[in-house]
Every structure is written in C-alpha cells, then in structure tokens.
Structure 1
Amino acid sequence: MAGTASIRLNFPGKLIGRKLEKQNGDILHVASCSSGKTPSLSDQRRLSLVSASAQIDVGISGTVNGKEVNGKHVAEEAVQVGKLGNENAADAALVTSLHGRFVESKFVYRQIFVIRSYEIGPDKTATMETLMNFLQETALNHVTSSGIGGNGFGTTREMSIRKLIWVVTRIQLQVQRYSSWGDVIEVDTWVDAAGKNGMRRDWVIRDHHTKEIITKATSTWVIMNRETRKLCKIPEEVRQEVVPFYLNRSSISTEQTDSEKIDKLTDDTAERIRSGLAPRWNDMDANQHVNNVKYIGWILESVPIKVLEDCNMTSMTLEYRRECRQSNLLESLTSPTARVIGDSNNNSINRKPDLQYTHMLRLQGDKKEVVRARTEWNLKP
C-alpha cells in the first residue's frame, strides 16, 4: 500500500478511526479518531496484520462502497466486514488477510504467517519445527488453491482416483536468522520436475516488512500407493496436472545445495544414543504415518544440550528412508562430523559452520533406518 489508503467500514455505534497511514513498511497507525480515542492495541495489531496481506488494503473511515477503493481491489470477504461489529470486523478481516495467494501468475504461491508464542523456543525465536510446519502448510495450500486438489492432503484429483500420495524423500533448509515472537513472515513456494519420476518443491521465507530472505528450502518428492505403501512412477494423467505449474527456479544455488551422501551411524560410530522415543497418536499425519516435522524433535534429543543452548542451527538436511508408525519405538543417534571455527561476527549464510553433526533415527527393535540427517550450527552472537 502506498501513501494513505482506506476502505469504508460500516460499524455500529461510534466511528473508531478516520484513516490509517503507512509507516515502517506495511504497518499502519491511526491518524485520527472521531471518538477522540485511539483503538486498543489489540485492534491496531489486527489492522497491522491485515495490511500485511496484498489481498486487501485496509483503513477505517466509514462504509463499504463497492469492491474498488482508491483504484485497488478489495477481497470479497472484506466487503462483508462492514456488516459485522467492531471486534468481529477486525477478526474477519484478519482471517481474510492470512489466506495465501498466487504471485508471479500461477507459478508461485505466497502465504503470510505470524510467529506465535507457542511456536518459539527457549531463546524466544521460531524453532526449526515451526519453520517446517510453515513450509508444509504453504505447500498443502498451494495444491488446494491451484484448482487441481483431490480429496487428500496435497494430492491431485488424478492421484486421489488412483489412491496415490506424495512422500518426501529429501529436504534441506538453510536458515539465515530465526524470526521472533510477533514477527510477520511470508512464505513463497513453487514446484518443478525432479528427474523422470519425482517433483522438486522449493520455498523462500522472507521478513514481510523488509523483504529480507531469512530461510531457503528445497525438497524432493515421489509418489506412493496409499494402500500398498509402495513407490510408483508418476502416471501420465498426474503429470499433465502438475506440469503447467512447473517453474524452473531453485531457491538454493547449486554451490549451496547439500548433495553429499549422509553417512550411516552405528552403535560404534555414534557418540550419543537416545532410546525409547515413542510416537503418539497426535504425531500421525493424515496418511497414517508419523508427520515429517516430528522427526526433527527426536533428532535433537541426542544433540548435546550445550550445543542447543549456545548455537543456532543454520542448516538441516533430512533423508527419509522408511515410514514410522505409532507402534514403533525409535532411537536417536548423533555424532560430530566436523568442527570449523569461523568468524563469529560474520552472519552471512555463506559462513562456514562452527559445528557439524550427523544424525540417524532408527527403529529400536530391528535397527532399520527411518531418517538420516546432517546439521550445521553457528555459535550465537
């Protein structure tokens, strides 16, 4: 939103605000109030978050007069906001603003998130699990909003007919910095082919107000039969559904992509082993196996507490080997692979890590691998 913009909202009772002006990016403040009172902090926060979405540009000054305001389109839901009370109106507009949308035509899907108090860790910043949840949520909404979604999470219509699902085989995240409680971020995602029978999905996370890139991620997906649990080739009908959305772009450059093989850990090579990790019912996803994000917490169970306290994880690569179900018990293995002391004042994503670790999750009973992982860590400033 440039300069001052507004839509007219028809609130019962006194008018609470005249207009909102742009300040510090997209965050707006109330310039004047006919009632002589400034809206509460909670109302101002809602309005700030509404403005974070490019779907609607919001200011308060009266009644809704159509869908075009100052030459800008107002989302259909926003037109209904004026029929609600003051508090409900702000809530409804906020919900509308947090819906994702397509940018760059149909190729890139963007979603806005706010870091909530239950999504941060002991250092008051978003956790790696939180970031992974954002990636997963944006990917699922991308498929749903594309018009090709089937009756399952992330599946297309042709996949649903054939009882097929997507499963991730590898994912890599690079974190420049972690967002704090209350920060507003935007997540962009897109897809491309990965070989003959795979699909690559990439993401970029930005600070919504500064547009600074704070996280990059890339992943590889293959198709599995939901009933037999066996991998299969991409049917031509499915390929034709997804090919129109392919974008030949990588979020992580070839030089930064972690393509090296992750070594297998054993009882002899692992420095730390944590046993007895039990999946709960709530750890299951809609496809009846452990949610991909849950593995991160189990991996960190065998990382030294001193590392968790003193370092930030700057990179994580996960290789998924097999499914895990609620009846399984897991073991988490970790071993340091390198220690390279870099310049602690250099916060570039290209900085060499201070610590590197190799990890593995395996079934406790037969020792079969579930996930291999590699992490890189830098000392906190």
Structure 2
Amino acid sequence: MKSMTGQSAFTVRSTETDQNGQATLPALVGYMQEAAWDNTATMGISMYELLERDLTWVLQRMRVEMFRYPRHREKIVVETWASGRERVFLHRDFRVYGADRELLGQATSVWLVMDVVKRQLVSVPDFITAVEVVPGQEPLPFAKGKLPQLEEVRYEQRMPVRWHDIDLNRHVTNTRYLQWVLETLPPEILEKQQLKEIDIIFNAESALGDKVIATAGPTHELDVFLHKLTSSETGKELVQARTKFGS
C-alpha cells in the first residue's frame, strides 16, 4: 500500500480561541493531530490499530510556522501526508488552508512508535514500514538538530499534572505541554505579539500526579525565547522549545 494525502475539515469553535477570537496554537496543533489520525486510519495504521498490538504513536518533535490565525467559526482544511522515514523516525507534514486556499500555516513533525506496556520506544514494525511513503507535496525541511540550551531563566511556573492533562497514551498530552510552554511567558508578551514559529521537542513523558517546572527566557535574537519543561520529581527534561514572536 502507498501512503496518501489526507484532508480534514474543521470549524474553529469558541472554546478554542483566545481573547482576540483567534484559534490558539494548541487548538491548531490539535486539528493537525486529528487530521493525522484520519489519514493513518485510511492506511490501517491509526493509533487504534497500534493499540491492538500494545503499540502507539508518539510525537517526538514538531516545528510550526503560522502566517495567519483563523478566527472563531472560520472553516479551515488541514492537509497532511507522510513525508519521509529515517530509521525509527517517521516524518509527517501539514498545511492549514482557509477560504480560497489561503495558506494559513504549515508544520513538519517527527513520530516514533512506543510499546505501551513496557513504556519503551521500539523499532518501526513491519506493518507500518509496509506502507510506502509517497509525499503528497514537496516535503518541508525535516525538523533536525539540537535546540540551544536555556541559560537565562527569566520566567518560571509550576504545573501540577491533573486528570484532564492525560491522553489516550496515559501521559500528558503534547498539546498540554505546548500550552504550558507558551503560558510561561508573561501576558504582556502574549497580548502584544503574535506567535509566528515554534520548534518543540518532546523528550520524556509525565503522568498523573507529577509536577512540572516550566521555565523560559530570552535569547540574543529579538522576540525569540527558549523554553524548558522539567519534572520536579526526577529532574528529567520533558520538553525543550524555541518560540519566535512578531507583529
């Protein structure tokens, strides 16, 4: 079987918008993941098919670039396709369109396969590699390389992991991690500027009852910040991210 491009339509709901009536980035990433689920289901490799084998998809990295945020009740289409495979890393791209095929944003992502019983990453199984990767469009540059380390911590918050933070994989959902990364910045930054880009790496999982320390600080680049989420219990780095804001 060959992979194929998927298209999923969404309407921005009021509960998914910010104080300006625009869709939040966590909401948009949520749409992208729903589109990915729809697309993998057509090939028999959705999360449900993996869970039947005690396996699951895990998002390892995502780089998102937004040109315009859709508003409440705006209809959008998310296109997604498998864009490449490197050893255990499976790449998937997204493009978000508004009316008249206006390109609102785009993203590239890296996925791994995890054994849900052993909580360990595994080699990509044969039933997934049997799906031939045929990129639907020109692949975006793969998200690779290390992010700079956060050295100057200027902002810090502590986030307890609660019931509604947990997803089907029984760990903190990646959109909640994304939300915590952004909420570490003060309102004066979030209110006055628009998030243009984010590159986020998911390094480890956290579970119900954990406490997460969220830190952030500026870089030498204007309107660019580095972020880190850390487990207060183990000291393990959970998430690393770089954000870029603009007018």
- Fold equivalence (TM over 0.5): yes
Query: Match for 1:170 among 51, 61, 76?
Result: 61
User: 1:1-381 alignment to 2 at 5 Å?
Assistant: 107-144=4-41, 146-149=42-45, 154-155=46-47, 157=49, 159-160=50-51, 162-207=53-98, 209-240=99-130, 242-243=131-132, 245-247=133-135, 249-252=137-140, 254=141, 259-265=144-150, 269-275=152-158, 277-340=159-222, 355-379=223-247
Shift of 1:225: 0.7
Shift of 1:263: 2.6
Moved over 6 A (4+): none
Shift of 1:251: 4.8
1:165-205 deviations in whole A, cap 9, x for unaligned?
11111101000010111211110010133312221111000
Per the alignment, do residues 239 and 357 of structure 1 end up closer, same or farther by CA in structure 2, a change over 3 Å counting? same
Contact kept? 2:62, 2:143, Cα under 8 Å: no
Per the alignment, do residues 309 and 194 of structure 1 end up closer, same or farther by CA in structure 2, a change over 3 Å counting? same
Shift of 1:335: 0.7
Per the alignment, do residues 271 and 190 of structure 1 end up closer, same or farther by CA in structure 2, a change over 3 Å counting? same
Per the alignment, do residues 315 and 164 of structure 1 end up closer, same or farther by CA in structure 2, a change over 3 Å counting? same
1:220-279 deviations in whole A, cap 9, x for unaligned?
111111100111111223311x32x53274453x3xx6645213336xx3111112x112
C-alpha distance in structure 1 between counterparts of 2:97 and 2:213, whole Å: 35
**Identity, % of aligned positions:** 25
| Bigger Rg, structure 1 or 2 | 1
C-alpha distance in structure 1 between counterparts of 2:68 and 2:43, whole Å: 34
Per the alignment, do residues 222 and 106 of structure 1 end up closer, same or farther by CA in structure 2, a change over 3 Å counting? closer
1:5-53 deviations in whole A, cap 9, x for unaligned?
xxxxxxxxxxxxxxxxxxxxxxxxxxxxxxxxxxxxxxxxxxxxxxxxx
C-alpha distance in structure 2 between counterparts of 1:135 and 1:110, whole Å: 10
SS for the counterpart of 1:338 is coil
Residue identity in the other structure for 1:282: H
TM-score by length of 2: 0.92
Task: Give 5+ residue unaligned stretches, structure 2.
Answer: none
C-alpha distance in structure 2 between counterparts of 1:172 and 1:231, whole Å: 21
**Once superposed, what is the RMSD of the aligned Cα atoms?**
2.0
SS for the counterpart of 1:171 is strand
TM-score by length of 1: 0.61
1:93 matched to which residue of 2? none
1:122-153 deviations in whole A, cap 9, x for unaligned?
11111001101100111111122x1514xxxx
SS for the counterpart of 1:293 is helix
Residue identity in the other structure for 2:227: H
Is the strand fraction higher in 1 or 2?
2
SS for the counterpart of 2:9 is strand
Residue identity in the other structure for 2:76: I
